[in-house]
Amino acid sequence: MRSMSLAVLAGILGSIFTLFWTEGVLHHTNVAQAQPAAGPRLSEPAQPYLPPADISSGLTPDERVNVAVYEKTNQSVVNISTLTLRPDGWLLRPVPAEGNGSGSVIDKSGHILTNNHVISDARQVVVTLFNEESYPAKLVGADPINDIAVIKIDAPPEQLFPISLGDSDALRVGLRVFALGNPFGLDRTMSTGIIASLNRTLEVQENWVIKSIIQIDASINPGSSGGPLLDTQGRLIGMNTAIATGDSRNLRQSAGIGFSIPVNLIRRVIPELIQHGRVIRGDLGITHVTETEDGLRIARLEPGGPAEQAGLREPQVTRQRQGPFVFERIDRSTADVITAVDGEPVQTAAEFLGMIEQKKPGDVVNLTILREEKTMNIIVTLGGDEPAQKVPPRQRSI
């Protein structure tokens, strides 16, 4: 299973952490820093789901809620085992590598929600249900940008218990949460904690971001990726995706800081993955930008793409032949510098990608640019995109 680097754009307790995907096979990843969280929309929390009287006798109120949430949801959580081929460090040939993660049943048709990094590049995916029955799974659709995937198994409907979905917009810092998953392959393990922060922004690889991340202190560990984050009603409010660990390469367990993808983002993505196999996004036709003090300088336009058709400019390239050699001169001063999208200032490529990836083909985008030291606005109508999972991160049009 592929291990992907994930960077947190926020300072965490004044220390430096290394982030790991919470899957079964891990590698050292990038150092992370953080960004202050913005305040979410406030809403009164729902009353906790309580167990029947016959199982609550002698339990404290907190224990009753813990038991109730587990009893309601544990049959919705699955174990995902994968088999991939990885290059051998000595013989330089592919060798089998096993990995594991978690997932949630989302309907009676056998669709399973998990992280894209859990199943990415897997040659074989097997889902094990609560009753220890195992089924081969096939990929239905994946969204690498938001690290969301849907797989499907052919299991009898009576063995499938779809999880209930909550509302991540109603979350508040301090609310109690529960994380279910298969840490280290220990199936359907539950841990408890609180929401530690909201609206975190995590960078996935270079210039790829996941926004509105939920930070939790519930313990999640390798193998928990793709498992549900639950509220006291037993509703899925997020999908556990990454953990922060100490800076030691040998420390693989959670440091008490976990990150979950919010369910409202998942709600938006799932229907497209099931229907189209991917998320259909608008294509701006800018294939690369360079961060500068003034904004984002266009480095390359897609020939004939929406941005070029709208009149945006890239660096001028002149070529001159001298004998058998061709010399190339690039004048970057002629390229437009993007300073805002729809009136919202933008300073990093990650922010820019995050703004554009929410758009659909046919949407109109108002770009504020600097051209020859003058500010102007360019209106661009977005085109259609190519399947994101087939395009290398550095080359994907935004």
Give me the residue spans of the domains in the chain. 1-48+76-279, 282-395
Distances (CA, A) of 59 to 50, 95, 111, 192: 11, 50, 35, 17
Task: Tell how many helices (H) and how many strands (E) occur in the chain.
Answer: 6, 25
Cα angle for residues 360, 208, 2 (degrees, 5° grid): 115
Pairing between β-strand 111-114 and β-strand 94-105 as defined by DSSP bridges: antiparallel
In 3D, which of 160, 185, 177, 264 has the Cα closest to residue 215?
177
Dist. CA 278–CA 247, nearest whole Å:
35
Here the tokens at position 206 are 């270079």
Q: Is 225 a catalytic residue?
A: yes
pLDDT of 52 reads: 57
Q: pLDDT digits over 81-98, tens only?
A: 999 887 776 667 778 888
Tell me the mean pLDDT in the region 57-71: 88
Element (H, E) at 137: strand 134-143
**DSSP per residue, 219-256:** ---TT-TTPEEE-TTS-EEEEEEEEEE-S-TT--S--S
Which residue among the candidates 76, 111, 117, 288 is catalytic per the annotation? 117
Q: Which of the four pLDDT bands, split at 50, 70 and 90, describes residue 200?
A: confident
Dist. CA 207–CA 212, nearest whole Å:
16
CATH number of 282-395: 2.30.42.10
Tell me the mean pLDDT in the region 344-360: 85
Location of structure tokens 């820093």: 33
> Cβ of 361: how many Cβ atoms within 10 Å?
14
CATH topology of domain 1-48+76-279: Thrombin, subunit H (2.40.10)
Dist. CA 385–CA 398, nearest whole Å:
9
Distances (CA, A) of 233 to 40, 48, 67: 20, 5, 11
pLDDT of 36 reads: 31
pLDDT of 2 reads: 37
pLDDT of 205 reads: 60
In the predicted structure, residue 329 carries a pLDDT above the cut 90: no
Q: Which of the four pLDDT bands, split at 50, 70 and 90, describes residue 156?
A: very high
Which residue among the candidates 76, 102, 120, 147 is catalytic per the annotation? 147
pLDDT of 18 reads: 35
Q: Is 147 a catalytic residue?
A: yes
Identify the bridge partners of residue 35 per DSSP, sorted by sequence position: none
